[in-house]
Chains A and B, each alone.
Chain A
Amino acid sequence: MYNIFRYIVSLTFVLLCSNYLVSQTLETDSIVVPLWQGIELETDVVPLISNLLNDDKTFRYEVLSRVNLKNKYFPVVEVGYEGKHRELGSGIDFTGTGMFYRVGLDFNLLKSMSTQAVKNKFLLGARLGYSNFFYDISNISYIDEYKGADITGNIIGLQSKSLWFEIVGGIRIEILKNVSVGWSVRIKNQLGEPEAGAIIPWYIPGFGQTGSSVWAFNYMIGYKF
């Protein structure tokens, strides 16, 4: 919990500092940028390819909506649907499916000299993620020490919820009129500790593999309205 607190404080500090620097630059240049600069829709293109290569239980669809305010503030909502199937090295078969949601705010660290919507962006932001999902665990083993036998069983229809925090950085370049591409890299940390002995999910839609911090990468393509 201390790490999460430190994480949030550090992020807030970085965002405030960067925001202050950008503000100072804009004020110096005396440019009045209109508040509403449009809305962007993006999707992650990597799963569009990987979905074809994986089995039908492993997939991800993800879309993002980002509002451009003064070319500086970008409130973001992300929605996705993800399924994961994996036979683990221990023989356990995991299958999970669920929706995930993220809300947050990006800051553009590049100063804008235009009153029009910026074409290129260097974004730094934060997200709060949430997923409500179902999962099955098959072929999980336990040892009957009394009889000296190794027994396997299935646990089907488990449901769970998860909340996590992300720091996100990335760039976007407009390659055609209103069409932009770019990437985002993000580090995610789960909020809250699982109860000891509880059957935690191996994978959380939108978050990734449980157990520690997760690094993730998105290659995005988007359209500006």
Chain B
Amino acid sequence: MSRNRFTLLLLLGCLWLFVSCGSEDEVCRESTEVKLHIGFYKTGETKVSPIDSIMVVGIPGDSVFYEPTKNLSEIQLPLEFGVGVSQYAIRFNEKWDTLTVLYNSDLYFVSYACGMIYTHTIDTVLIKGQTSKGLSIPYKSVTTENVQHLQIYR
């Protein structure tokens, strides 16, 4: 290879150095919403059943997660991190039930574009009241995955 060709290659390399530039993908394209998905069922049925009117508030405090809403068969509630327990008052039509969820929380790094999230692992769920007859926990891991974690029977 002649010296001229080598010099040309050298210059091409320098040119590439100056024209090349990296592009950084810093747009968050992943879901970061971590919520407890709860479905409502009539006892003995496998298909979700809508509630005529439902309202959900946090206990204690004045956080209103659902204003009175008609015909909902599934709700999504946030779990408070750092305390290991979240309580909610759920009004089914005119009657109030109390839902208590005990869980462990872990910090999960999503990406530099999305930041971090808290994921939770359900330990125990209690429900007291006149409407709810029982519950099941099909998924104990509460992440960004869109699955029904809790099923409440009435």
Contacts and interface: CB of A to CB of B under 8 A. Distances in A.
Interface residues of B, number: 40
Interface in A113-144: 120, 122, 140-144
B126 interface: no
Contacts, number: 89
B1 A197 contact: no
Contacts of A140: 115-116
Contacts of A88: 24, 26, 112-113
Contacts of B109: 197-200
Contacts of B115: 90, 92, 140-142
Most B C-beta atoms less than 10 A away, residue of A145, A182, A199, A219: A145
B137 interface: no
Given A143-B32, A217-B20, A90 B113 contact: yes
A4 B130 CA distance: 60
Residue of A140, A148, A197, A215 with highest tally of chain B CB at under 10 A: A197
B136 to A, nearest CB: 24
A209 B6 CA distance: 31
Interface string A197-225: 11110100000010100010101000000
Contacts of B112: 88, 90, 92, 94, 202
Interface in A182-206: 182-183, 185, 197-200, 202
Interface in B24-69: 24-28, 32-35, 58, 63
A22 interface: no
B116 A141 contact: yes
Interface residues of A, number: 35
Interface string A43-58: 0001000000000000
A16 B81 CA distance: 57
B13 A173 contact: no
A145 B65 CA distance: 10
A122 B17 contact: no
A163 interface: no
Interface of A: 46, 88-90, 92, 94, 110, 120, 122, 140-148, 170-171, 173, 181-183, 185, 197-200, 202, 209, 211, 215, 217, 219
Given A120-B1, A141-B115, A145-B79, 18 more contacts: A89-B27, A90-B113, A90-B114, A90-B115, A120-B6, A122-B1, A142-B117, A145-B35, A146-B81, A171-B9, A173-B3, A182-B10, A183-B13, A185-B13, A199-B116, A215-B20, A219-B13, A219-B14
In order of increasing CB-CB distance, the 7 nearest A-B pairs are A89-B26, A183-B13, A145-B78, A146-B80, A197-B108, A141-B115, A142-B116
